[in-house]
Amino acid sequence: MMAGRGRLVPCVCLGLFGVLCWVWVSFASFPDDQLPLEALDAVDRGAFHPQSALSEMEFASISSYRGPGNSDRRRNKELPIILWWSGGLFPHFPGDTERIDCATSSCLVTSNRKVQLYKRTSSIIFYGTDFRAYEAPLPRLRHQTWALFHEESPMNNYVLSHAPGIRLFNYTATFRRESDYPLTLQWLPSLDYLLQPVAVPLQEKNRLRREGLAPVLYMQSHCDVPSDRDRYVKELMKYIKVDSYGKCLNNRPLPEHLEDTSTATGEEAGFMNFVARYKFHLALENGLCPDYMTEKLWRPLHQGCVPVYRGSAAVADWMPNDHSAVIIDNFPSPKALADFLKRLDENDDEYAKYLEFKNPSRITNTRLLEALETREWGVNDMTKPNYLNGFECYVCDQENARLAAERAYKKAPKKNQPPQPKMADNSHMGCPLPSPGYGDVQDLSADDGWLQIWPQDYWQSLDQAEGLESLIRHNESDPSLLWKHIQNIAVSRARGKH
Ligand SMILES: *[C@@H]1O[C@H](CO)[C@@H](O)[C@H](O)[C@H]1NC(C)=O
Ligand SMILES: *[C@@H]1O[C@H](CO)[C@@H](O)[C@H](O)[C@H]1NC(C)=O
Q: At residue 175, does pLDDT exceed 50?
A: yes
The secondary structure of 381-428 as a DSSP string is -TTS--HHHHHHHHHHHHHHHHHHHHHHHHH-TTTSPPPPP----GGG
Lining ligand 1 with CB less than 6 A are 145, 167-168, 170, 402, 421-423
* Residue at 16 is within a domain: yes
| Distance separating the N- and C-terminal Cα atoms of the chain | 65
Q: Which residue has the higher pLDDT, 89 or 257?
A: 89
Q: Which ligand is nearest to the CA of 406?
A: 1
- Ligand 1 mean position to 169 CA, how many Å? 7
Q: pLDDT tens-digit profile of 319-352?
A: 999 999 999 999 999 999 999 999 999 999 999 9
Mean pLDDT, rounded, for 443-471: 97
Residue of the nearest CA to atom 2 in ligand 2?
A: 475
Residue of the nearest CA to atom 10 in ligand 1?
A: 421
Q: Which long-range contacts (CB under 8 A, 24 or more apart) does 337-342 make?
A: 337/236, 337/308, 338/236, 338/238, 338/239, 338/240, 339/239, 341/215, 341/216, 341/240, 341/280, 341/308, 342/215, 342/240
Q: At residue 150, does pLDDT exceed 90?
A: yes
Q: Are residues 365 and 424 in the same domain?
A: no
Q: Are residues 257 and 297 in the same domain?
A: yes
Lining ligand 2 with CB less than 6 A are 139, 475, 477
- Ligand 1 mean position to 53 CA, how many Å? 30
Q: Which of 470, 490, 492 is nearest to 481 (CA)?
A: 470
d(CA 283, CA 281): 6
Contacts of 108 (CB under 8 A, 6+ apart): 35, 37, 76, 79, 80, 81, 82, 97, 98, 99, 100
Contacts of 469 (CB under 8 A, 6+ apart): 164, 167, 168
Q: Is 218 helix (H, G, I), strand (E, B) or coil?
A: strand
On whether the CB atoms of residues 192 and 445 are closer than 8 A, the answer is no
Please give the pLDDT value at position 350.
Answer: 98
Q: Are residues 231 and 360 in the same domain?
A: yes
Q: Which of 21, 17, 19, 16 is nearest to 8 (CA)?
A: 21
Q: Are residues 241 and 300 in the same domain?
A: yes
Q: Residue 11 pairs with which residues in a beta bridge?
A: 21
Q: Are residues 362 and 396 in the same domain?
A: no
Tell which atom from ligand 2 comes closest to the C-alpha of 142.
13
- Ligand 2 mean position to 478 CA, how many Å? 12
Please give the pLDDT value at position 7.
Answer: 33
Q: Which of 475, 476, 477, 478 to mutate to test the pocket of ligand 2 (most atoms within 8 A of CB)?
A: 475
Q: At residue 440, does pLDDT exceed 80?
A: yes
Note down the domain range covering 233. 191-372
d(CA 290, CA 312): 4
Q: At residue 361, does pLDDT exceed 90?
A: no
Q: Would you state the torsion angle of the CA atoms of residues 247, 216, 292, 470, taken in this order, to the nearest 10 degrees? A: -40
Q: At residue 264, does pLDDT exceed 70?
A: no
* Residue at 403 is within a domain: yes
- Ligand 2 mean position to 411 CA, how many Å? 25
Q: Are residues 274 and 320 in the same domain?
A: yes
Which of residues 334, 356, 372 is at a domain's end? 372
- Ligand 2 mean position to 380 CA, how many Å? 45
Handedness of CA 275, 280, 286, 289 (dihedral sign): positive
* Residue at 490 is within a domain: no
At residue 126, φ and ψ (nearest 5 deg) are -115, 150
- Ligand 1 mean position to 356 CA, how many Å? 48
Tell which atom from ligand 1 comes closest to the C-alpha of 402.
13
Q: Which residue has the higher pLDDT, 249 or 51?
A: 249
Please give the pLDDT value at position 4.
Answer: 33
Residue of the nearest CA to atom 12 in ligand 2?
A: 475
pLDDT confidence tier of residue 496, bands split at 50, 70 and 90: confident
* Residue at 491 is within a domain: no
Q: pLDDT tens-digit profile of 220-236?
A: 999 999 999 999 999 99
Residue of the nearest CA to atom 3 in ligand 1?
A: 168
* Residue at 460 is within a domain: no
- Ligand 1 mean position to 314 CA, how many Å? 30
Please give the pLDDT value at position 65.
Answer: 53
* Residue at 473 is within a domain: no
- Write down the H helix ranges in 167-216: 191-195, 202-210
Residue 220 CA: distances (Å) to CA of 227, 307, 338: 13, 14, 19
- How many domains does the chain fold into? 2
Distance of CA 145 to the CA centre of its chain: 21
Which of residues 372, 397, 417 is at a domain's end? 372
Q: pLDDT tens-digit profile of 54-112?
A: 333 333 333 445 567 898 889 998 999 999 999 889 999 877 799 999 999 999 999 99
Q: Are residues 251 and 137 in the same domain?
A: no
Please give the pLDDT value at position 34.
Answer: 38
Residue of the nearest CA to atom 13 in ligand 1?
A: 421
Residue of the nearest CA to atom 8 in ligand 2?
A: 475
High-pLDDT (> 90) share of the chain, %: 77
Q: Are residues 58 and 131 in the same domain?
A: yes
Q: pLDDT tens-digit profile of 362-406?
A: 899 999 999 999 999 998 888 888 999 999 999 999 999 999 999
The secondary structure of 243-301 as a DSSP string is EE-SSTT--SPPPGGGTTTTT-SS--HHHHHHHTT-SEEEEE-SS--TT---HHHHHHH
Please give the pLDDT value at position 26.
Answer: 33
d(CA 488, CA 497): 14
Residue 256 CA: distances (Å) to CA of 247, 262, 272, 290: 15, 10, 15, 37
d(CA 448, CA 426): 30
Please give the pLDDT value at position 126.
Answer: 98
d(CA 162, CA 166): 6
Residue 52 CA: distances (Å) to CA of 34, 128, 437: 36, 12, 24
Please give the pLDDT value at position 432.
Answer: 98
* Residue at 219 is within a domain: yes
d(CA 418, CA 386): 33
Q: At residue 268, does pLDDT exceed 90?
A: no
Q: Which ligand is nearest to the CA of 140?
A: 2
Lowest mean pLDDT among 143-152, 163-172, 343-352, 372-381: 372-381
Q: At residue 263, does pLDDT exceed 50?
A: yes
Please give the pLDDT value at position 262.
Answer: 54
Q: Are residues 304 and 357 in the same domain?
A: yes
Q: Are residues 431 and 287 in the same domain?
A: no
Q: Which of 148, 170, 428, 474 to mutate to test the pocket of ligand 1 (most atoms within 8 A of CB)?
A: 170
CATH classification of the domain holding 344? 3.40.50.11660
- Ligand 1 mean position to 143 CA, how many Å? 9
Q: Are residues 218 and 135 in the same domain?
A: no
d(CA 442, CA 440): 5
Asked, as a colleague might, if the bond just before 139 is cis with ω within 30 of 0, I would say yes
Across all residues in the chain, what is the average pLDDT? 87
The structure's pTM equals 0.87
Please give the pLDDT value at position 63.
Answer: 46
pLDDT confidence tier of residue 497, bands split at 50, 70 and 90: low
* Residue at 337 is within a domain: yes
- Ligand 2 mean position to 166 CA, how many Å? 23
Please give the pLDDT value at position 13.
Answer: 35
Contacts of 496 (CB under 8 A, 6+ apart): none
Residue of the nearest CA to atom 4 in ligand 1?
A: 168
High-pLDDT (> 70) share of the chain, %: 84
Which of residues 341, 372, 403 is at a domain's end? 372
Q: Would you state the torsion angle of the CA atoms of residues 160, 165, 169, 175, taken in this order, to the nearest 10 degrees? A: 20
Q: Are residues 70 and 158 in the same domain?
A: yes
pLDDT confidence tier of residue 49, bands split at 50, 70 and 90: very low
